[in-house]
């Protein structure tokens, strides 16, 4: 167990950070690990925290083997879905998310912009489609969309769908009526991340609650839209927090069809970026990140597990391990909203080395939902 690291106080920065960090090493495990429950690989929503903690604690090769076994039972090996993310409204967000440079409270040089013109968005979508993307994701830095913005948002969704691409949006919190409008427009996915464990959430964000997140997810589900929901690791959390994060997702009434796993990109001027910049031990190491991906794969077998933010700084070996652990979706291009990404040429080179190809066809969770009349936990 490493020593507790004292982090600077956040007093005056609008957040109640605990003020210390426990960065846990991998605990010792038995020479012959106990087998998982016999339902491994089936779609369960009754995972316990103890079961998930046991998965994290497995010897690395055993965890990877089990993740690969589950992955191959439900997904086509060596296929990775290509997605593109565009910021359609940047900066000026009233939320105080400690990781985000689009927060109005962040002391960065990012300038707020208005909602993009529909035609400009559709032009970007066409370029993404021509580059091989299957899904086009659009993000706006809002606490929640205003009703006056909904007509333009609806036109964006309809236009991208007419190009034959899947659509995804992340606009903040949604009312039931707004979710219904997006569903009527044909939106395929709505992204609304829980970010971290319920216990740590209040240390990262104070302007909305964990339950607010769950309420929007419920509104999205009720409208019939597929859910994209994941979070961020490397924010100074403990392994216990990562267990809680996965547990919160894996015990939802229905698993998210898409689960993005982000590694924190520490941006200067953000609360967490400034806090963790000089605390390297606070950042998650590569093997622990891969473990998180593997546990997400095992506990949510049908979901697309997306390797998201932070990939720019990952080595090719780390990314390859993530794919082996069950990650099968990435964002392409050289930008993710306001931070860098690896770029199409780097991805193409890595795919060629690994023998990975772009995914084609329907996603398992959506196909299962359709065949089960909307239930992926039956």
- Residue 182 three-state SS: helix
Task: Assign residue 202 a region (left: φ > 0; alpha: ψ between -120 and 50; beta: otherwise).
Answer: alpha
Longest dimension (CA), the chain: 61
Q: Per residue in 10-24, is it b (16+ CB within 10 Å) or e — as a string?
A: beebebebeeebbbe
Nearest CA among 236, 305, 230 for reference residue 75: 305
CA-to-CA distance for 329 and 307, rounded, in angstroms? Answer: 6
- State the number of CA atoms in the 13 A half-sphere of 319 facing the CB: 25
CA-to-CA distance for 376 and 322, rounded, in angstroms? Answer: 25
274 Cβ contact partners less than 8 Å away, ≥ 6 residues apart: 268
CA-to-CA distance for 116 and 362, rounded, in angstroms? Answer: 30
Whether 84 contacts 135, CB under 8 Å: yes
Nearest CA among 200, 175, 83, 72 for reference residue 132: 83
What spatial distance separates the first Cα and last Cα of the chain, rounded to whole Å? 41
> What residues are labeled active site?
93, 97, 100, 137, 168, 228, 306
- Residue 292 three-state SS: helix
Q: Identify any residues that bridge with 260 across adjacent strands, giving them in sequence order.
A: 306
Q: Identify any residues that bridge with 168 across adjacent strands, giving them in sequence order.
A: 137, 189
Distances (CA, A) of 137 to 13, 151, 228, 253, 319: 31, 18, 11, 24, 22
């Amino acid at each position: 167990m490493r020593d507790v690291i004292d982090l600077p106080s956040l007093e005056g920065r609008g957040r109640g950070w605990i003020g210390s960090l426990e960065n846990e090493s991998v605990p010792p495990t038995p020479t012959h690990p106990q087998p998982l429950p016999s339902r491994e690989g089936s779609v369960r929503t009754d995972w316990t925290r103890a079961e998930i903690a046991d998965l994290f604690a497995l010897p690395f090769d055993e965890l990877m083997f089990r993740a690969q076994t589950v992955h191959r039972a439900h997904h086509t090996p060596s296929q990775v879905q290509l997605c593109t993310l565009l910021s359609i409204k940047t900066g000026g967000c009233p939320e105080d998310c400690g990781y985000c440079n689009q927060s109005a409270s962040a002391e960065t040089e990012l300038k707020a912009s208005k909602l993009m013109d529909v035609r400009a968005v559709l032009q970007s979508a066409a370029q993404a489609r021509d580059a091989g993307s299957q899904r086009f994701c659009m993000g706006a830095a809002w606490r929640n969309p205003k009703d006056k913005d909904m007509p333009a948002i609806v036109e964006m969704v309809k236009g991208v769908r007419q190009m034959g691409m899947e659509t995804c949006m992340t606009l903040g919190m949604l009312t039931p009526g707004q979710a219904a409008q997006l569903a009527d427009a044909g939106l395929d996915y709505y992204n609304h991340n829980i970010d971290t464990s319920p216990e740590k959430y209040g240390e990262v964000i104070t302007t909305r609650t964990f339950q607010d997140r769950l309420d929007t997810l419920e509104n999205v589900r009720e409208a019939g839209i597929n859910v994209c929901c994941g979070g961020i690791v490397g924010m100074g959390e403990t392994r216990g927090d990562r267990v809680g994060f996965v547990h919160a997702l894996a015990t939802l009434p229905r698993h998210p069809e898409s689960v993005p796993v982000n590694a924190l990109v520490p941006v200067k001027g953000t609360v967490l970026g400034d806090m963790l910049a000089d605390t390297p031990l606070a950042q998650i190491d590569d093997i622990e990140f891969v473990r998180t991906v593997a546990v997400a794969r095992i506990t949510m077998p049908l979901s697309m597990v997306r390797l998201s933010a932070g990939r720019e700084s990952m080595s090719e070996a780390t990314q390859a391990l993530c794919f082996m652990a069950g990650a099968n979706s990435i964002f392409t291009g050289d930008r993710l909203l306001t931070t860098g990404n690896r770029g199409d040429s780097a991805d193409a080179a890595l795919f060629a080395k690994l023998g990975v190809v772009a995914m084609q066809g329907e996603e398992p969770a959506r196909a299962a939902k359709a065949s089960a009349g909307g239930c992926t936990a039956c």
